[in-house]
Amino acid sequence: MIIINKILNVDDYYFDVFMSISESLTGFSVNELQATGLAETYYTYILGHLDAATFVEFLTVSKNVFETSFTEDQLRNTIASEIMADPGMNDMAGKVVTMWYLGTWEGTYINDLSYKEGLVWNLMHAHPPGAKQPGFKSWSIKPVTTKS
Amino acid sequence: MSKTDNKKDVIIVGTGIAGSLIAKLLTDHVFDVEKGKMIHRADAKKSETIREISILMYEAGLEAGLELDSASSMTTYNEYMRTFYMQEAKVPNSPYPNLKQAPSPNVLDIEPIIPPFPDKKGYLVQFGPMPFASDAIRVGGGTTLHWLGTTPRMLPNDFRLTEKYGIEIDSPDSDQKTPINWPIDYNLLKPYYEMAEFEIGVSGDVSKQEYPISESMEQYYGDYVFPMEEIPQSYMDQKIIDGLTGTNVQLNFQTIPLLMVPSPQGRNSTPNPSYGKTRLIKAEALQSGYQLVLDRSEKEEYKALGAVWNPYMGERCEGNASCVPICPVQAKYNALKTLKKALYKMNDNENLQRNPYLEIKAQSVVYRLSVDENEAISKVHVRRYISKEKTDFVEEVIDTSDSIVILAANAFENPKILLNSKYTVIENGQKVEKIVANRSDQVGRNLMDHMVMLTWGLFPEPIYSYRGPGSTTNISSFRDGDFRSEFSAWISPLDNWGWSWPAFSPGSDVSEFLSEGLFGAALRDALTYRLSRQVLFHFEIEQLPNPNNRVTINDQYVDALGIPRPVVNYDLTDYEKRAMEQAKLASDQMFERLEIEDFTQYNASDNNTFVYNNVRYSYNGAGHIVGTHRMGFTPEDSVTNSYCKSWDHPNLYIVGAGNMTTLGTSNPTLTLSAFTIRSVESILTDLETQFKN
């Protein structure tokens, strides 16, 4: 734990980059991502499960993307060209999105909360089966569709 | 080897719904020594001399939680939930312990078979040529832990396919034809359906049930309401109903009007005030024997029964949308609820007290029965494993000469135990080797399941699937009709959970859009569009009994305890294949009418797939494993009589889904519960005789 915290402290900037690129890739705001309660868990999980250089490279590229983009359109185009079009970066981006959307990293749930906090269920105006039960009869009417 | 000396009146193998129902009903009755009759516990006066019925239940699954005390049952069940959250493939067996000492068939083990080599990957040894596609779980409470909970009754003609539609099947290893009528009919079973619906706790609206049968609904249900009000139909159901009500489907040679029916279900909703008071299932003594009745003399209102560890949890379905594989609050019925009523009885102070006459031995795998010179079952052989981790076991034998033995395991395990029980008798001076309960040679044969053909697509507007119980509406139109002389009947549940079954949505949709390079708002929008429009239609096709679809055993294939594994031979006939062709016709027409964009795909690489009239069809299992110890009219045509009693042995009952003569189009649990409840009449009669001697 101590070591992980140390990394977080030293690499605070990278954590912010991670959250920012997560926001751009998932389409969910940093605030919505934080609301899963799993942001730091995910960040440290990747640090622990990936060759550090690979993750640092992804974050460095991401950092550059933000530094060279001044509008939303620019940001989208730069992500498309620098990340999505690059096989290695694309793979990382896919894994990060999957983590936020489904709670899994390479097919494995991070912990028993990550399944419940998958964001994909919000997109379909539903909830993860077996958790966050909406209550009797809720399924018989049109769901709540506010965004956050 | 150890011998248990304290004699039990009844031995029950299995704590699933069949075993638990029998345990509950037997422990509700006591023997009035003066009258020489079985009476309900509620009618037993203190002063009377009564004798309790002592019962021993064996369970192959783990011991943890099976005493059903609050603390251990909650801990055990929460562990199932934690496992469920962590499992990548949330298949029906996923939350439950996968035991090497008592393995279970698992859908993840199914793969295509390349004859003559069997698929031995999982617990089943599958020779095919078609893989058997369904699973079950060996755990306290049995497979009701992961059943969906849909509880339609069978239709009158389901019990008389030969009489009504002229269908006969091959006799084992001969050219002779065998009729497939049941030894009981719908009317006879009707009161037991009501008892099963009471015990399970069925929610539904009788007045909205509509089936393609010649009987009126008045004749079919009588003056009746379900214990609880209807489970609300989903928003998706209503959109589909709006689009299909009043329209027809054109099958080959026949036009069939679409009937959209809210499904009766074994999950809690609001108790129906018209149902009124709770009931007692009570044995009434006849001249000889007993008749069970649904007694109405109770004063308490009917109440929804919640979780086994806390009755104040799960009194209503809360919309967890995870009925299969697990209901987190136990608003969905499972057999542990019935088992708890056997284990705990109300004492004089109206507190629940552990019933000392019922003992449950878990981690105990029954694998063989012995027979004495009177053809009575004299011994039950058990291997009891010591821990979850180790395969060390203790060999146990229990003397059952003066007991009634009830095999209440699933339709793989019951025949497996029987086929492993060989004995020798002297007939006309000759030694003859026999198999327990198998005079008819029907043990293990007629293995059946519903073939579930799925069709899926995108609805033209959002219908917000992935909400509510797995299915709340079914299309009942194809459940009966003259076409049954040509091809299978089927029931069509509308499935509420998007494409999760056929396509592993939403995970597959996320990876599909990612692989297209979508990210950010575009990814969100694509997923929202796709996932809120997903519809799944579902065609559960009746399979006829076939003597060559069978469970056998073979010394070559044993499990970690040295007990034979079920060896399965299985195939479809044109009767079922043609039904799939017709069901696809129906699906296409309904999709067109609803303007559903069809995404259905059947591939040659699917596990269960075939080509019929140059078109490929694929299907899944329904988990409806039945038929392997059918009931019938004579010792020659069946394994048991209509009371699930073996024709061949005076003290052996074989109960469960395996007794079903045919499958019909109903989910089988309600029907097996009904005839299992009825079997208690015969068991009580036998116990009376036993107690008088």
Could you identify the residue written with the tokens 């029954």?
B366
Average of per-residue pLDDT values in chain B = 96
For residue A133, the chain B residues in CB contact (below 8 A) are: 318-321, 328-329
Burial B392-404 (b: 16+ CB within 10 A, else e): ebeebbbebeebb
Distance from CA of B462 to the nearest CA of A (A): 9
Distance from CA of A78 to the nearest CA of B (A): 12
Residue B3 pLDDT greater than 60, yes or no:
no
* B294-311 confidence digits (pLDDT tens): 999 888 999 999 999 998
Query: Closest partner residue to B527 among A76, A111, A123, by Cβ?
Result: A123
Residue A8 pLDDT greater than 60, yes or no:
no
Contact indicator for B118, B301 with CB cutoff of 8 Å: no
ipTM: 0.94
**pLDDT score recorded for residue A147:** 52
Task: Summarize the confidence of residues B2-28 as an average pLDDT.
Answer: 89
* B213-265 confidence digits (pLDDT tens): 999 999 999 999 999 999 999 999 999 999 999 999 999 889 999 999 999 99
Crossing angle between the packed helical segments A39-49 and A52-68, to the nearest 10 degrees? 130
Integer Cα distance of B266 and B568 in angstroms: 31
- Which of B146, B313, B519 is the best residue to mutate to test the A interface, defined by the most A CB atoms within 10 Å of its own CB? B519
**pLDDT score recorded for residue B47:** 64
Give the three-class secondary structure for B668: helix
Task: Summarize the confidence of residues B661-682 as an average pLDDT.
Answer: 98
**pLDDT score recorded for residue A148:** 41
* B625-671 confidence digits (pLDDT tens): 999 999 999 999 999 999 999 999 999 999 999 999 999 999 999 99
Integer Cα distance of B327 and B331 in angstroms: 7
Query: Closest partner residue to A112 among B82, B467, B497, by Cβ?
Result: B82
* B134-148 confidence digits (pLDDT tens): 999 999 999 999 999
Of the candidates B4, B15, B11, the one whose C-alpha atom is nearest the C-alpha of residue B59 is B15
Of the candidates B234, B537, B466, the one whose C-alpha atom is nearest the C-alpha of residue A130 is B466
For residue A140, the chain B residues in CB contact (below 8 A) are: 232-235, 238, 468
Fold category of B1-111+131-148+172-199+273-447+548-571+627-693 in CATH: FAD/NAD(P)-binding domain (3.50.50)
Integer Cα distance of B181 and B33 in angstroms: 40
**pLDDT score recorded for residue B57:** 98
Integer Cα distance of B376 and B355 in angstroms: 29
Residue B386 pLDDT greater than 90, yes or no:
yes
Structure tokens at B677: 């409840």
Task: Summarize the confidence of residues A103-117 as an average pLDDT.
Answer: 96
**pLDDT score recorded for residue B67:** 94
Integer Cα distance of B491 and B414 in angstroms: 28
Average of per-residue pLDDT values in chain A = 90
- Kindly list the domain boundaries of chain B, sorted by start residue: 1-111+131-148+172-199+273-447+548-571+627-693, 205-262+451-541+572-621
% residues pLDDT > 70 (chain B):
99
For residue A143, the chain B residues in CB contact (below 8 A) are: 235, 464, 467
User: Could you tell me whether strands B280-285 and B290-295 are parallel, antiparallel, or unpaired per DSSP bridges?
Assistant: antiparallel
Task: Summarize the confidence of residues B604-631 as an average pLDDT.
Answer: 98
For residue B88, the chain A residues in CB contact (below 8 A) are: 104, 107-109
Residue A9 pLDDT greater than 60, yes or no:
no
Task: Summarize the confidence of residues A73-98 as an average pLDDT.
Answer: 96
Crossing angle between the packed helical segments B668-692 and B186-200, to the nearest 10 degrees? 100
**pLDDT score recorded for residue A11:** 58
- Which of A102, A123, A148 is the best residue to mutate to test the B interface, defined by the most B CB atoms within 10 Å of its own CB? A123
* Confidence bin at B56 (pLDDT 50/70/90): very high
Residue B463 pLDDT greater than 50, yes or no:
yes
Of the candidates B77, B59, B57, the one whose C-alpha atom is nearest the C-alpha of residue B68 is B77
The region of weakest confidence among B1-10, B412-421, B468-477 is B1-10
Distance from CA of A130 to the nearest CA of B (A): 5
Question: How many residue contacts between A and B have a Cβ separation below 8 Å?
Answer: 149
Structure tokens at B18: 């069949």
**pLDDT score recorded for residue B46:** 73
**Is the whole-model pTM more than 0.80?**
yes
Do B320 and A136 make contact, defined as CB atoms within 8 angstroms? no
- Which of A69, A140, A142 is the best residue to mutate to test the B interface, defined by the most B CB atoms within 10 Å of its own CB? A140
* Confidence bin at B175 (pLDDT 50/70/90): confident
The region of weakest confidence among B163-177, B477-491, B586-600, B652-666 is B163-177
Provide the CB-side half-sphere exposure for B328 (13 A, CA). Answer: 18
For residue B523, the chain A residues in CB contact (below 8 A) are: 25-27, 97
* Confidence bin at A52 (pLDDT 50/70/90): confident
